[in-house]
Chain A
Amino acid sequence: MLPVVVVHGGAGYVAKQQFEASTAGVREAARKGYAILKSGGSALDAVVETVAILENNPTYNAGRGSVLNAKGEVEMDALVMEGRTLACGAVSAVRRLANPIHLARLVMEKTSHVYLTAEGASKFARAMGIPEVPEESLITDYARKCWKDNQRPDANPVQYQIGKMG
């Protein structure tokens, strides 16, 4: 039965023009995660690298492609956990990072803590040598359009409510 990897690219509203890209991205990520497992890699390696692939894909709301907050900025969250020792690491409200999941793994492996947030997480990323990326590199035209559309008083209430999903 083993190994197995299962991935998701988010639930809720998906624009029609993104149907195909959304499905293609998770298939590619699952294939790569499975290849890691088949070559003897750990479940931890597989989930982290699979999620990093999806963070790098602008189709999804994570990493590059993240939605914008009320100020039009990107704040990202990530979590990783492994089931043998229940070790885990998480970060929230991090900015200017291509792969927040890698930072979450470093929190798990390099600190005695579980969860770092905001500026503290950014300082830790710098201390770990993770390069910052320009915020603009994380923002897609589609994310900017959605943000602008939802500023309007006549914004589509269905899309607005579904947009409340992460």
Chain B
Amino acid sequence: TVGAVAVDVQGNLACATSTGGMLNKMEGRVGDTPCIGCGGYADNKTGAVSTTGHGEAIMKITLPRLILFYMEQGKSPEEASDMALAYMMERVSGLGGVVVVDPKGTWAARFNTKYMAWAAAHQEQLHYGFSLGEDFTEPL
């Protein structure tokens, strides 16, 4: 699965997610990716999220909406993502990852899997990582 979130100079947010689904899935199986509020969500008032991971688990807890709910309560994108991913693990044993941005441009790339390739471009810096805890930077 691949995805992106962005906020432009007008302060508008958007998300996009695309996938080939799950290896050896049943014909006709649809996961979280195309479902609004599961594969992603974007609202200028709160933030934008794109997800990846175990689709059935993500759908059961509507992961992007849960993250945005926590952000509405005042949590940062990073705090909200970690809380939602922890809830998904605790409630449905689900693993996954997210990229998140809020209307001010505060962003997060968080996951509870071993790996997630991610990159963020912001203020002429490119941040990127692959394993848990990585945050390399280079100039854009």
A residues whose Cβ falls under 8 Å from a Cβ of B: 1-14, 19, 22-23, 25-27, 29-31, 33-34, 37, 40-44, 46-48, 50-51, 54-55, 60-63, 65-71, 73-84, 86, 88, 90-93, 100-101, 104, 114-115, 117-118, 143, 146-147, 150-151, 163-166
Contact = CB atoms under 8 A, between A and B. Distances in A.
B117 A10 contact: yes
Contact of A44 (B12, B41, B123): B12
Interface string B93-135: 0011111110011111101011111111111001011100000
Which of A33, A46, A47, A92 has the most chain B CB atoms closer than 10 A to its own CB?
Answer: A47
Contacts of A73: 27
Contacts of B8: 2-3, 37, 41-43, 46
Contacts of B15: 47, 79-81
A47 B28 CA distance: 26
Given A69-B21, A77-B18, A5 B12 contact: no
B123 A77 contact: no
A43 B1 contact: no
Contacts of B39: 77, 79, 90
B30 A8 contact: no
Which of A22, A27, A55, A101 has the most chain B CB atoms closer than 10 A to its own CB?
Answer: A27
**Chain B's interface: helix, strand, loop or mixed, by majority?**
strand
Interface residues of B, number: 79
Contacts, number: 337
Interface string B24-39: 1111111111111001
B52 A165 contact: yes
Interface in B46-76: 48, 50, 52-55
Given A9-B118, A23-B117, A2 B36 contact: no
Interface in B1-16: 1-16
A75 B31 CA distance: 11
B52 A10 contact: yes
